Structure 1
Amino acid sequence: MHQARPLPPYLIQRYHGWRATSYTENESWYRTLAQEGQHPRAMLISCCDSRVHVTSIFGADQGEFFIHRNIANLVPPYTADGQQHGTSAALEYAVCALKVAHVIVMGHSSCGGIKGCDDMCSGRAPELEERTSFVGRWMDILRPGYARVDGIEDEGQRLRALEKEAVLVSLENLISFPFVTAAMERGTLTLHGLWLDIGEGRVEQFSPATQAFAPI
C-alpha cells in the first residue's frame, strides 16, 4: 500500500494535545474501557454531516454511545440477501451482541443527502439516477418518504418535512429486522426518533401519540 500518506501536521498536533490533556486526565477510565470492553446503553444512528456532533449534544463519555453514521441517517429495510450491508451489520451488533437498550435515529436541518434525494426524485439530478451512483442508490431508501411530502410546493418546507421523513422511514425500516422486533417484544429495546435544528441548537423528538415532532 503505497498510496497512504502521513497525517497532516494540524491533526498530529491535535492528537498530541489530546494525549497530553484529556487522555492523561482520564487515563484510568480509558484503561478500564480497554480491559472491560464496551457496554453502551444506546445506539445512535446519525448523519455523516460534520456539523452533527452527537456526543457533544448529549454530553456522552467514551463507551456510552454505539454510533453509526451514514448519509442522511437512513436505515435500509431488512433483507437476507447475503450481501454486505454496513448499517444492518452495525444494527445487528448493537442489538444482538451489545444488547443496547435504545436505538436512536437523529436527523438534522440543512442535510445535503436530503437535498440530493429531493433533487433526484423531482428530476433535477439525473446523475443520481445512474445505477453507478452510490449516493443515489442509497437515497432510494427515502423514496417512500419523498412520496409523502411531494405535494409541498415550498422548497424549504418540503426539505424540512423530508428531513423528518428520513427519521420516520428509518424507524419503519428498523421494525422490519426480526432481531429488533424480538428485543422490543421482550421489553429490552425501545426506538426513538429525533431531529436537530443545527442553527438553533434545538432537538425535537417524534411522538407516536401526536404523530409529530416536538421540542424535548
Structure 2
Amino acid sequence: MQHAKPLPGYLVQRYQGWKATTYAENHSWYRRLAEEGQRPRAMVISCCDSRVHVTSIFGADQGEFFIHRNIAALVPPCEQDGAQHGTSAAVEYAVTVLRVSHLVVMGHSACGGVKGCLDMCSGHAPQLEGNDSFVGRWMDILRPGYARIEDIADPDEQARALEHQAVIVSLENLMTFPFVEEAVKSGQLSLHGLWNDIGAGSLSQFDPKSGKFEAI
C-alpha cells in the first residue's frame, strides 16, 4: 500500500502526551484489560459526528462501553442476505458474545445524516438518490421514520422529529434480530433510546408509554 503516510505531527504529540500521563498513571489497568479481555456492561450505538463524544458524556473509562458509530446512529433491520453488515455484526457480537446488559441508541441535534435523509425524501437531494450513493442507501433505513413526520410544516420541528425517529426506527429494527428479541424478552438485555442536544448539553430518553422523549 503506497498511499499510506505517517501521522501528522499534532496527533503524534497528543499520543505521546497520553502515553506519558494517562497511560503511565493507569498502566496496570490497561494491562489487566489486555490480559483479561473486555467485559463492558453496555453497548452504545452513536453517530459518527465528531461533536458527539459518548465516553465524555457519561464519564466512561476504557473497557466500560462497547461503542459502534455510524452515520445517524442507525440500526438496519435484520437481513441475512450474505452481504456485509457492519452494524448488525457489532450488535450480534455485543449481545451474543459480550452479553451486554444494556444497548443504547443515541441520536443528536443537527445531525447531518438525518438532514440528508430529510432532503432526499423531500426531493431536494437528487445526488443521494442513485445507487452509487453510500450515504443515500444507508439513509433509506430512515424512510419509514420520514413517512411519520413528513406532514410537519415547521422545518426545525420536522428536522428534530426525524432525529427522534432515527432513534425509534433503530430500536424497532433491533427487535427484528432474533438474538436481541430473545435477550430482551428473557430480561437479559434492555434497550434504551437517547437524544443529545449538543448545544444545550442535554439528554432526553425515549418513553415508550408516551411515545415522546423526556429530559433526563
User: Could you tell me the TM-score, scaled by structure 1's length?
Assistant: 0.99
Show the counterpart of 1:211.
211
What is the identity, as a one-letter code, of the residue corresponding to 1:133? S
Structure 1 gaps, min length 5? none
Is 1:165 the counterpart of 2:138 in the alignment? no
Using the alignment, how far apart are the partners of 1:185 and 1:120 within structure 2?
Answer: 36
1:66-81 paired onto structure 2 within 5 Å = 66-81=66-81
Deviation at 1:136, TM superposition (A): 0.1
Is 1:151 the counterpart of 2:151 in the alignment? yes
The RMSD of aligned alpha carbons is: 0.5
Runs of at least 4 residues of structure 1 off by over 4 A?
none
What is the identity, as a one-letter code, of the residue corresponding to 1:45? I
Structure 2 gaps, min length 5? none
Show the counterpart of 1:37.
37
Show the counterpart of 2:99.
99
Deviation at 1:208, TM superposition (A): 1.3
Using the alignment, how far apart are the partners of 1:63 and 1:56 within structure 2?
Answer: 14
Using the alignment, how far apart are the partners of 1:193 and 1:12 within structure 2?
Answer: 36
Using the alignment, how far apart are the partners of 2:198 and 2:23 within structure 1?
Answer: 29
Deviation at 1:201, TM superposition (A): 0.3
| Structure 2 counterpart SS, 1:106 | strand
What is the identity, as a one-letter code, of the residue corresponding to 2:76? P
Show the counterpart of 1:17.
17
Post-superposition Cα deviations, 1:57-84, rounded to whole Å, max 9, x if no partner, equal 0010000000000000000000111111
1:174-213 paired onto structure 2 within 5 Å = 174-213=174-213
Post-superposition Cα deviations, 1:5-50, rounded to whole Å, max 9, x if no partner, equal 0000000000000000000011110000000000000000000000
Deviation at 1:196, TM superposition (A): 0.2
What is the identity, as a one-letter code, of the residue corresponding to 1:128? L
Q: How many equivalent residue pairs?
A: 216
Is 1:59 the counterpart of 2:64 in the alignment? no
Q: Quick one: percent identity of the two aligned structures?
A: 69
What is the identity, as a one-letter code, of the residue corresponding to 1:49? D
Using the alignment, how far apart are the partners of 2:209 and 2:85 within structure 1?
Answer: 32
1:95-134 paired onto structure 2 within 5 Å = 95-134=95-134
User: Could you tell me the TM-score, scaled by structure 2's length?
Assistant: 0.99
